[in-house]
Chain A
């Protein structure tokens, strides 16, 4: 029987089998389970196919859409802040006359910590009682009373944004710095001669060169933030009262705490749509930015 299979296919078969077992099968199983009322506590429920009922429930579920919207808000705020700070950081490091390498390494420190640890660290720092931030604010006389950072709904989301930005600004900084190092200096000099102030030089010449790098960082980070889970789980666990519930904390809660695996899988597939949308959007932007500077890479 094996003789009938062409040699190339035969040789690829082990890889195909492994991929099918670890990627394709779980993917199809999870997709299938999103069409069932599968509960972890009732294994037989996996074999009841009830069509799009899970998806219909999600569409009508306000909590899901609030989490969806909150994720988009978090993504927008965090990405823009990281972008601005990363750009500033990269420009500063690029200006440094000495110790550039050391600065580059230091700049990457936040990326070296596990997000779980970052979560714990910021949870401690934002603690209303013993936290560093409240202590500092009160000692400096800026506030009289403790600010309930992780207890107030809006402040909790703000605190999470701060933690996200701290841990991931370096992604932008590193990529934009790479862009700065790769960019030719002559157009910048030409702009100076052409009468540009430093700000105009940046706006009209440097920034167009950096845009592709910024969009690469945006793409990577939008996927990261759209699946944000760890930092939120540790810092607020979606609380207080669901005010920091994001898509994936909701999915996790539905799947494991509520044991509604079928419903959770359906949510996950809808959430992935969000990631795909952002990826497509940023890839389009990236392609346009690259074409505009006639990049050869």
Chain B
């Protein structure tokens, strides 16, 4: 059993605090993604779990046992590094078997476990090569193989795919997912790429400035963002977010533009309250080119000018001008639109989000 729990974890360098007392419980065999912009403390948190970084405050437990003062070798973890961190003077086979050799396991067992890992990762043909003779994707697989061979309780991944090109990254993402299905260990995965986090993780932890903004399943953080930051961070293209004021039972935006207040918010806001209005590009579309998820009464239709379009083949991102700024919308079954052309845009307000302008917290709950 390998739950990992962080209790009020703090990291500071002198007077500078980079992790401000975060708490998190990772269940056994769970795949957790730590995601956030660079400098948010996600890698530092991972390195503290690994034991590569000292802990300034709080407690880390692995499998119910406090590991604060244990060196990395006594924590029963494996780590895959962003730069692969292979041993350049060892062959693929030696790299993968190194930890077992250090643990003085019999050679037969080392060979067997290395071969099993190599088979899982398709590395059999490369066993005698040196890291310098491998491509980026192959090196990444060796790094994963090295982690698997140890058969640890917890896998730690530190942005493992960010040095790979886009195509390879997608491919390796799938492999990591398959791998987790096979080895069933607890995984803590750090990434700045929200798509990676969404596709891989059972639960996502969104961090900002050393704080946890939200912990939830991919569906939760996407559909029910707890803060304005999470709403803007998760989803591609990002959610349209616009400051607004509640006036006359409507959401008043800049330049006199306004939208009706969705029914679900009527008893959650007060007249004159400053809010942030949020709507995903999926819930804003040219009439007839989107998917309604609410009742017809929740649809607001407005004729708006198109500024530019970005065709993606199966869909087109349409940027329209509304309330003094550009809003991005997703057009399904696309037809071609010209810049400056006016189209009827539909706002699916059943999917709208409101956040407090002061605290940034959602007003949906």
Whether both chains belong to one complex is answered with: yes
Q: Which residues of A contact B (CB under 8 A)?
A: 184, 186-187, 189-197, 200, 204-205, 208, 292-294
B77 within 8 A of A: yes
Task: Pick 12 A–B contacts, CB within 8 A, sort by A.
Answer: A189-B50, A189-B81, A192-B51, A192-B71, A195-B102, A196-B102, A200-B102, A208-B87, A292-B88, A292-B89, A294-B88, A294-B89
In the complex, which residue of chain A has the Cβ closest to the Cβ of B78?
A193
CB of B131 closer than 8 Å to a CB of A: yes
B163–chain A nearest beta-carbon distance, Å:
12
Map CB proximity to A onto B75-86 as digits: 1 under 8 Å, 0 otherwise: 001110101111
When the two chains form their complex, are residues A193 and B83 in contact, meaning their CB atoms are under 8 A apart? no
Q: Is B130 an interface residue (CB 8 A)?
A: yes
Among all A-B residue pairs, the 4 with the closest Cβ atoms: A186-B85, A294-B132, A194-B99, A190-B85
**Nearest chain A CB to B51's CB is how many angstroms away?**
7
CB within 8 A of B85: which of A187, A195, A197, A294? A187
Starting from the known contacts A189-B50, A195-B99, 20 additional A-B residue pairs (CB-CB under 8 Å) come to: A184-B83, A186-B84, A187-B87, A187-B88, A189-B52, A189-B81, A190-B87, A191-B87, A192-B73, A193-B52, A193-B72, A193-B73, A194-B150, A195-B103, A196-B73, A196-B102, A204-B87, A204-B98, A205-B87, A294-B88
Which residue in chain B gives the minimum CB-CB distance to A189? Answer: B52
Tell me, rounded to whole Å, the shortest Cβ–Cβ distance linking A230 to chain B: 39
Nearest A residue to B50 via CB reads A193
- B146 and A194 within 8 A (CB): yes
Residue of A nearest to B73 (CB): A195
Contact at B103–A186, with CB atoms within 8 Å?
no
Q: How far is the CA of A208 from the CA of B98 in the complex (A)?
A: 15
On chain A, the residues within 8 Å of B50 by CB distance are: 189, 193
- State the CA gap A255–B102 with chains docked (Å): 58
Contacts of A194 in B (CB 8 A): 73, 98-99, 102, 146, 150
A194 (CB) vs chain B CBs: closest residue: B99
Bound CA–CA A293/B132 (angstroms) = 9
| CA–CA, A189 and B146, complex, Å | 13
Is the interface on chain B under 10, 10 to 19, 20 to 34, or 35 or more residues? 20 to 34
Q: Of all chain A residues, which has the CB nearest B53? A: A189
Pair count A-B, CB < 8 A: 67
Closest to B143 in A: A190
Interface of A, helix, strand, loop or mixed by DSSP = helix
The reply to whether A187 and B52 form a contact with Cβ atoms under 8 Å apart is: no
Q: How far is the CA of A253 from the CA of B89 in the complex (A)?
A: 48
With both chains docked as a complex, state the minimum distance between the C-beta of B82 and any C-beta of chain A, in angstroms: 8
Closest to B149 in A: A194
**Bound-complex Cα distance A189 to B72 (A):** 9
Q: Are A190 and B89 in contact (CB under 8 A)?
A: no
B88 touches A293 (CB 8 A): yes
What are the residues of chain A within 8 A of B102 when measuring CB–CB? 194-196, 200, 204
Closest chain-B Cβ to A185's Cβ sits at a distance in Å of 9
Q: B51: which A residues are within 8 A, CB to CB?
A: 192-193
A155 to B326, CA, bound (A): 88
State which of B78, B83, B132, B146 has its C-beta within 8 Å of the C-beta of A186: B83
In the complex, what residues of B have CB within 8 A of residue A197's CB? 73
Closest B residue to A186 by beta carbon equals: B85
Is A189 within 8 A of B85, CB to CB? yes
Q: Which residues of B contact A193 (CB under 8 A)?
A: 50-52, 72-73, 77-79
Q: Which residues of A contact B131 (CB under 8 A)?
A: 294
Q: Which residues of B contact A190 (CB under 8 A)?
A: 79, 81, 85-87, 146
Known: A193-B50, A193-B72, A195-B102. A294 touches B130 (CB 8 A): yes
Contact with A along B82-126 (1 / 0, CB 8 A): 011111110000000011001100000000000000000000000
Determine the distance from Cα of A269 to Cα of B221 in the docked complex, in whole angstroms: 80
B150: chain A residues within 8 A (beta carbon): 194-195
Within 8 A of A (CB), among B11-58: 50-52
Partner of A293 from B79, B89, B98 at Cβ < 8 Å: B89
Closest to A190 in B: B85
Identity of the chain B residue whose Cβ is nearest the Cβ of A292 in the assembled complex: B89
Residues of B within 8 A of A189 (CB): 50, 52, 72, 79, 81, 85
Measured CA separation A205–B95 after assembly (Å): 11
**Smallest CB-CB separation from A188: which chain B residue?**
B85
Residues of A within 8 A of B77 (CB): 193
Residues of B within 8 A of A294 (CB): 88-89, 130-132
Contacts of A293 in B (CB 8 A): 88-89
A18–B303 Cα gap in the complex (Å)? 88
- Looking across the interface, which residue of chain A has its beta carbon closest to that of B152? A193
Central interface residue in A186, A195, A294, by most chain B CB within 10 Å: A195
B133 to chain A, nearest CB (A): 8
B145–chain A nearest beta-carbon distance, Å: 12
Residue of A nearest to B83 (CB): A186
**Of A192, A194, A293, which is in contact with the most chain B CB atoms at under 10 Å from its CB?**
A194
Nearest Cβ on chain A to B227's Cβ, whole angstroms: 33
Report Cα–Cα, A192/B102, bound state, in Å: 11
With a cutoff of 8 Å between Cβ atoms, the chain A residues found around residue B83 in the complex are 184, 186
Residues of A within 8 A of B71 (CB): 192
Q: Smallest Cβ distance from A204 to chain B, in angstroms?
A: 7
CB distance from B149 to the nearest CB of A (A): 9
Interchain nearest-CB distance for B146 vs A (Å): 7
Q: Shortest beta-carbon distance, B100 to chain A, in Å?
A: 9
**Bound CA–CA A9/B83 (angstroms):** 51
Q: Which residues of B contact A195 (CB under 8 A)?
A: 73, 99, 102-103, 150
Q: Which residue of B lies closest to A294 (CB)?
A: B132
Contacting residues, chain A, for B132 (C-beta < 8 A): 294
Tell me the bound Cα distance from A205 to B88 in angstroms: 9
